[in-house]
Structure 1
Amino acid sequence: MKALWTLGALPLAALVSGCAAPTIPPAADTDMAVSSGTWAWRYRTYDIESGIEYPAGRIELSGRPGGYSFRYVLKEPNPCAAGSVAATVSTDDLNTIIIPVERMTGCGVRRFVLRKDGTGGRVDVKVQSKKGPTTWEPEERDRGLTAM
């Protein structure tokens, strides 16, 4: 993984002031180098039974290298989406990858793969095979993960 130049979303402070997202220089020999701040992406949720889309929410990442916090901001979160949890952040050439820790047993682990340019991304679910290695499988629903 390469050092992180930008998080691909505008810091919330930039949204308020109307400023563009800053370019963040990489730190030498690190997996991630991000300045302190809070970043947000749109996040769609759906009714499990009917498939009807709920009003849009967002996901937020805040913190600094070595200490990130992830949270969903939703109108009616279920217990697996309530509150903030620690998260790891890494990057490749095109994406910022956020992996929040599992909130409680049974919630599952999700990985947010967000394009650095803020134009979208996907959510992968961690799947443990009984006979094989752990894999990441994409969720079936489009979560509309665009920078706010």
Structure 2
Amino acid sequence: MTESGDGPELGARLEARERHLEELHEELALLRLEADEQRAARGAAEERARALERRASILDKRVRYYQREERSREVSTGRGERRVRRQERVLERREAEKARLKERLSAKDEEIARLRAEQRKLSARRDDALERAVRRVRELERELDLRSGD
């Protein structure tokens, strides 16, 4: 092939590489945006969990207070056993709900960790692909410079 035939073909290949690099940059930006959104969602979930834990603690204290009040009243009146058992069942249900919420939070934390790991792997692969593409473009540019210099 002649030198003049190589130039347009090489130029077209370089343009294709440039387009590919631009696409990779756009994809990387989208992935970074998605990672930011996942971090924000995780932060909101963690804040919600902390709020629920605070609320559960307040409710637990309130229940214990009312149980003490109820017991003292019922002991003095002699009809308290049934009410005490009912209050204990309410407390057990609340404890079960609290445990269920903690399990859900734990599952969400595991899912977030899994998504982060996937994101890191994908980002690393994309970064590697981008670096290879940049190296290839530089090689092609050097070849073009060598050919144009000849």
Interval of TM-score (by shorter of Structure 1 and Structure 2) = under 0.3
- TM-score, normalising length: structure 2: 0.16
Considering fraction of residues, name the structure with more helix.
2
- TM-score, normalising length: structure 1: 0.16
RCO (CA 8 Å, sep 6+): is it higher in 1 or 2?
2
